[in-house]
């Protein structure tokens, strides 16, 4: 008999060789119906996997990440199976599950069309209806190579050759289709209930421009059709909210072919940007931050000293000045170190909180550029906090509170991840353990749920990443708190302690927005361009009916200008319906319609973007109302 410890801590005994599915069936018929895979001592396994020793078992349904992975990975195999039935000459590359779906890469002469996707979907439906079992089998290396060579699958042969010696080479069979795969998969093709192929794109084999361009088909699948429908609705909504489209329509920003990846901010975009930066400055001043500005170009030697040269040089730009080598900064932290190092500090001066809206440049491949989301120059809302070791927890807690307050203002929910030591890291095991524990202690002191993101820390320290959720359920990684014992060491930073001796400070790197450019893109999509009043580049549009109302309309504009309310007036000789529609397209929060009655009575007829026609009201009452919305940052 073996003991199986379930997720709830309960322990059950079974005969050796019991399968994960049999365990699920022994617990409940419903669980057996919903189970897709199992996690055995932390490793994902098929439901057919036999348990041969005492273990911890987590039964995975579609509600779990591992369950979704097995489900969508199986759907990618069904996609490949369908392609091979219709296009036998296609050669298979790779087909993993990814966030929200899956893809499969194919080597095929003629690119796939929209009509091809429909044919492939129909064939996939047939394969699902056939309810073919997915059966795992293994082969020795040489036999596995021959097996794939006989099927003409040269990409699979290359993958097998790259596997470590002695590693088990596993395959999955469903009907006549066989694929090299580590799994896991669901038990049969019939388990897939709802799927959709979404798009086709080019993708270089193994991501290298030196290799052949393949055809990548993207798709998604869900356990229920309603879930798929909701997801497809969100995709359509995302297209409408695309910040690149809205940025052009609302005249916020532009990216020109003369500067790919280097955005131009237009007058209305600058209004939005300045509001965000002003808010950032106000909130940081309240919390004891001092603002600094460091140079964009610094000597190459500095980047050797900081460690960026060894870990980041392929993403940097370089230049020569007076025959000396310089780098355009990809990060602000080395400049912050030099600011701290300019004089000797006492422990009584710590913590020192230095904030910087710093312009950085990073090389991105042209194919990776995406509006304001992925650019080659951007402004990080950086801060570097220098502190004593006993101040770590309170400072981390302070940054968490600051980030929380910012995201609440914009109406974002968020979750956090604790990212741990990566492979190419600097520092000792002891330093990394101390830093990671300090971040974990702060999260637990706040009672925050968090996920461990193994190996995704910065090269100099672990970090807490904040993933905010927008109005259509997408998540974006923005804020981060990085704890660093390495940079103070490399720059020989010190402070004088109460014992009169010099000690090494600890530092925090942190951002709230992440980058101003990317945050503006996220806000644009979150609000679908309909920014709340306090953020709107134009808050009020004044629309006089005819020329005789212009004087009163201009008086209204002057009065609003004096209150710092951002206002435009439309004096064109156009019908009022046309003016209203245009203002609606510009997503202006308020329109003031000025006619005979308003001119005679000193009132305004108010149309709200949210509430429609609000009727006539005294002008002073409207001013009080909009100022209240601006001051409270009403959503």
Query: pLDDT tens for residues 145-201?
Result: 999 999 999 999 999 998 888 778 999 999 999 999 988 999 999 999 999 999 999
Check if 333 is active-site.
yes
Task: Point out the catalytic residue in the list 116, 382, 470, 484.
Answer: 382
Rg value, the chain, Cα: 30
Task: Point out the catalytic residue in the list 284, 361, 362, 579.
Answer: 362
* Residue 98 included in any domain: yes
Tens digits of residue pLDDT in 16-42: 999 999 999 999 999 999 999 999 998
Check if 390 is active-site.
no
Look at residue 456 in the predicted model and tell me its pLDDT.
Answer: 87
Same domain, 553 and 612: yes
What's the pLDDT band for 460 if we cut at 50, 70, 90? confident
Tens digits of residue pLDDT in 525-537: 999 999 999 999 9
Look at residue 440 in the predicted model and tell me its pLDDT.
Answer: 93
* Residue 444 included in any domain: yes
Q: Which of 481, 499, 526 is the last residue of a domain?
A: 526
Q: Which of 498, 526, 554 is the last residue of a domain?
A: 526
* Residue 79 included in any domain: yes
Distance CA 150, CA 131 (A): 27
What residue has token string 């212009």? 550
Look at residue 471 in the predicted model and tell me its pLDDT.
Answer: 83
- What beta strand segments (E) does 300-427 contain? 317-321, 324-328, 352-361, 377-387, 413-419
Tens digits of residue pLDDT in 482-539: 998 888 998 999 999 999 999 999 999 999 999 999 999 999 999 999 999 999 999 9
User: Taking a C-beta distance cutoff of 8 angstroms, is the pair 494, 387 a contact?
Assistant: no
* Residue 43 included in any domain: yes
Look at residue 60 in the predicted model and tell me its pLDDT.
Answer: 94
Distance CA 83, CA 89 (A): 9
Same domain, 284 and 226: no
The answer on pLDDT for 618 being more than 90 is yes
Residue 74: CATH number of its domain: 3.30.980.10
Same domain, 74 and 7: no
Check if 463 is active-site.
yes
Q: What are phi and psi of 368, to 5 degrees?
A: -90, -10
Output the six-digit token pair for 77: 């195999």
Residue 436: CATH number of its domain: 3.30.930.10
Tens digits of residue pLDDT in 338-371: 999 999 999 999 999 999 999 999 998 887 889 9
User: Taking a C-beta distance cutoff of 8 angstroms, is the pair 480, 414 a contact?
Assistant: no
Same domain, 383 and 498: yes
Look at residue 28 in the predicted model and tell me its pLDDT.
Answer: 92
What's the pLDDT band for 424 if we cut at 50, 70, 90? confident
Look at residue 485 in the predicted model and tell me its pLDDT.
Answer: 86
* Residue 342 included in any domain: no
The answer on pLDDT for 631 being more than 90 is yes
Q: Which of 497, 526, 555 is the last residue of a domain?
A: 526
* Residue 212 included in any domain: yes
Mean pLDDT of 564-572: 96
Task: Point out the catalytic residue in the list 81, 273, 353, 463.
Answer: 463
Look at residue 86 in the predicted model and tell me its pLDDT.
Answer: 96
Q: Is the omega angle on the peptide bond into residue 184 within 30 degrees of 0, that is, cis?
A: yes
Look at residue 310 in the predicted model and tell me its pLDDT.
Answer: 80
Mean pLDDT of 432-440: 90
Same domain, 489 and 388: yes
Quote the crossing angle between the two packed helices 550-562 and 619-631, to the nearest 10°: 30
Tens digits of residue pLDDT in 302-335: 998 888 888 788 889 999 999 999 999 999 999 9
Same domain, 549 and 428: no
Mean pLDDT of 234-251: 92
Q: Is the entire prediction scored with pTM above 0.95?
A: no
Number of domains in the chain: 4
Residue 568: CATH number of its domain: 3.40.50.800
**What is the average pLDDT value for the chain, to the nearest integer?**
93
Same domain, 355 and 262: yes
Task: Point out the catalytic residue in the list 384, 421, 518, 607.
Answer: 384
Distance CA 605, CA 612 (A): 11
Check if 384 is active-site.
yes
The answer on pLDDT for 394 being more than 90 is yes
Same domain, 277 and 417: yes
The answer on pLDDT for 434 being more than 90 is no
Same domain, 101 and 8: no
Same domain, 227 and 83: yes
Residue 16: CATH number of its domain: 3.10.20.30
Same domain, 79 and 192: yes
Same domain, 374 and 424: yes
What's the pLDDT band for 140 if we cut at 50, 70, 90? very high
The answer on pLDDT for 628 being more than 90 is yes
* Residue 302 included in any domain: no
What's the pLDDT band for 99 if we cut at 50, 70, 90? confident
> According to the 3-state scheme, what is the secondary structure of 264-286?
EECHHHHHHHHHHHHHHHHHHHH
How far apart, in Å, are the Cα atoms of 37 and each of 33, 48, 58, 98, 179?
11, 9, 9, 17, 19
Look at residue 369 in the predicted model and tell me its pLDDT.
Answer: 87
Distance CA 521, CA 284 (A): 22
* Residue 216 included in any domain: yes
Query: What secondary structure does DSSP assign to 156-211, as a single string?
Result: HHHHHHHSPTT--EEEEEETTEEEE------SBGGG--EEEEEEEEEEEGGG-TTS
What's the pLDDT band for 85 if we cut at 50, 70, 90? very high
Task: Point out the catalytic residue in the list 174, 187, 352, 380.
Answer: 380
The answer on pLDDT for 398 being more than 80 is yes
Task: Point out the catalytic residue in the list 268, 329, 509, 579.
Answer: 509
Tens digits of residue pLDDT in 270-299: 999 999 999 999 999 999 999 999 999 999
The answer on pLDDT for 427 being more than 90 is no
Range of the domain at 52: 2-61
């Amino acid at each position: 008999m073996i003991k199986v410890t379930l997720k709830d801590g309960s322990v059950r005994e079974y005969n050796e060789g019991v399968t994960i599915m049999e365990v699920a069936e022994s617990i409940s018929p419903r669980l057996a119906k919903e189970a897709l895979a199992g996690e055995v001592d932390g490793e994902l396994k098929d439901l057919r996997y036999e348990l041969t020793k005492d273990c911890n078992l987590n039964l995975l349904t579609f509600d779990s990440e591992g369950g979704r992975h097995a489900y969508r990975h199986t759907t990618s195999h069904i996609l490949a199976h369908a392609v091979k039935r219709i296009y036998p000459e296609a050669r298979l590359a790779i087909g993993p599950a990814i966030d929200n779906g899956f893809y499969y890469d194919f080597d095929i002469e003629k690119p796939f069309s929209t009509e091809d996707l429909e044919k492939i979907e129909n064939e996939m439906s047939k394969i699902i209806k056939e309810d073919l079992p997915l059966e795992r089998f293994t082969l020795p290396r040489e036999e596995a190579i021959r097996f794939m060579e006989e099927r003409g699958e040269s990409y699979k042969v290359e993958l097998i050759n790259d596997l470590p010696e002695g590693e088990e080479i596993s395959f999955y069979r469903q009907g006549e289709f066989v694929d090299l795969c580590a799994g896991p998969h669901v038990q049969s093709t019939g388990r897939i209930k709802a799927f959709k192929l979404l798009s086709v794109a080019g993708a270089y084999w193994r991501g290298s421009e030196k290799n052949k361009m393949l055809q990548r088909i993207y798709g998604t699948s869900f356990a229920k059709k309603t879930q798929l429908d909701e997801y497809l609705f969100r995709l359509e909504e995302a297209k409408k909210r695309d910040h690149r489209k809205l940025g052009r329509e609302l005249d916020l920003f532009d990216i020109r072919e003369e500067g790919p990846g280097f955005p131009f901010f237009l007058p209305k975009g600058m209004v939005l940007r300045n509001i965000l930066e002003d808010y950032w400055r106000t909130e940081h001043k309240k919390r004891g931050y001092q603002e600094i500005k460091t140079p964009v170009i610094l000597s190459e030697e500095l980047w050797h000293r900081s460690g960026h040269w060894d870990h980041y040089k392929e993403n940097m730009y370089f230049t020569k000045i007076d025959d000396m080598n310089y780098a355009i900064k990809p990060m602000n932290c080395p400049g912050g170190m030099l600011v701290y190092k300019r004089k000797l500090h006492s422990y009584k001066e710590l913590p020192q909180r230095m904030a910087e809206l710093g312009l950085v440049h990073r090389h991105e491949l042209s194919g990776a550029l995406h509006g304001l989301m992925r650019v080659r120059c951007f402004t990080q809302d950086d801060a570097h906090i220098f502190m004593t070791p006993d101040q770590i927890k309170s400072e981390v807690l302070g940054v968490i509170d600051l980030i929380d307050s910012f995201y609440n203002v914009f109406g974002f929910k968020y979750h956090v991840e604790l990212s741990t030591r990566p492979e190419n890291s600097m520092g000792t095991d002891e330093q990394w353990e101390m830093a990671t524990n300090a971040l974990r202690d702060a999260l637990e002191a706040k009672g925050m749920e968090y996920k461990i993101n193994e190996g995704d820390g910065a090269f100099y320290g672990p970090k807490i990443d904040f993933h905010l959720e927008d109005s259509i359920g997408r998540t974006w990684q923005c804020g981060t708190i990085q704890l660093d014992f390495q940079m103070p060491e490399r720059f020989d930073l010190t402070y004088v302690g109460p014992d009169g001796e010099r000690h090494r400070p600890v530092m925090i790197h942190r951002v709230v927005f992440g980058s101003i450019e990317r945050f503006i893109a996220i806000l644009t999509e979150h609000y679908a361009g309909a920014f709340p009043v306090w953020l709107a580049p134009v808050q009020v549009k004044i629309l006089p009916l005819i020329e005789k109302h212009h004087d009163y309309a201009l008086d209204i504009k002057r009065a609003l200008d004096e209150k710092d309310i951002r206002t435009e007036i439309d004096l064109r000789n156009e019908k009022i319906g046309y003016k209203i529609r245009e203002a609606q397209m510009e997503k202006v929060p308020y329109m003031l319609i000025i006619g005979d009655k308003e001119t005679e009575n000193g009132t305004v007829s108010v149309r709200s973007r949210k509430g429609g026609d609000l009727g006539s009201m005294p002008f002073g009452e409207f001013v009080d109302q909009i100022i209240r919305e601006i001051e409270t940052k009403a959503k």
